Amino acid sequence: MTDPTAASSNTCYRHPDRQSFVLCQRCGRTICPECQTPAAVGVHCPECVREQRARFTENRRASGPSSLTVARRRFAMLDQKATVVLIAVSVVVWLLDRLSGGFLSQWLAYNSALLPTQPWRIVTVLFVHSGVFHILFNMWALFIFGRMLENMLGTWRFLALYFIAGISGSMLVTFLAPGTWVVGASGAIFGLFAAFFVLQRSLGNNAVQLLVIIGLNLVIGFLPGTNISWQAHVGGILAGFVTGFVFARTRNIRQRGLQTGLLVLEAVVAIALCFVGYAVTVG
């Protein structure tokens, strides 16, 4: 005969039809092999394991991210090093320009009338900004789209896109607004918008919202009293579309030479057109 009381104490608490003589080391419940989780000493039941995991997760949240997690986040920022450098240089130039009373603007801003003797201005104009809202908007846009594009394209392709779009902005200013003083990275920023749109479309993604953003920001430049160089915006957009198309069509590693050649050609044409525009409008 079997004693019913003894039998009930020797069965798994989760499976009463299974006999077991193994106890959980934490709570003392009887557990069958299926319910046993090996521990440093003995075994634990499912409830004790669940409780330990919950307590471990709570302690991790309370103590914040581990040093390894922080290190990984910092290392990930290296993937956007060009974006970070561009923002840092722009901010430093803006601060020094404020402190010097506009001294840097006099030497870095773009004016097509000075192109033959001071050609560096077609590039340095990207690092000069007027007011605080001007640099905040441009750097915010560069931080958002620059990081995404640098991750997609790599550092050197991203820099090529940024400067080709910026130079193209200066080029169109030369043709359509000769002798006008221009500052800011807006031409390059709009180039990033356009290139990102083309790349998203080439990957089959819906980028209509981005197109709306480009259109709205472009329209703002035409509003009276805004004092915005819409010419630089249009020039950057055109270069961004072309450069994005080049990237989309030469993604194969075997086309790397062709891609490099096309980017160099774009830069040369943009610079040459700046001088052509000077000869036509100012010279």
Taking the C-alpha atoms of residue 21 and residue 40, their distance in angstroms, rounded to an integer, is: 19
Helical axes 132-153 vs 155-176, angle rounded to 10°:
130
Q: Which pair of structure tokens corresponds to residue 156? A: 């050197």
- Is 9 designated active site? no
Strands (E), 153-259: none
**Catalytic one among 90, 129, 170, 233?**
233
Taking the C-alpha atoms of residue 194 and residue 152, their distance in angstroms, rounded to an integer, is: 15
Taking the C-alpha atoms of residue 2 and residue 64, their distance in angstroms, rounded to an integer, is: 56
- Is 186 designated active site? yes
Q: Which pair of structure tokens corresponds to residue 253? A: 């590693």
**Catalytic one among 105, 112, 168, 186?**
186
DSSP state, 29?
Answer: -
Annotated catalytic sites, by residue? Answer: 186, 233
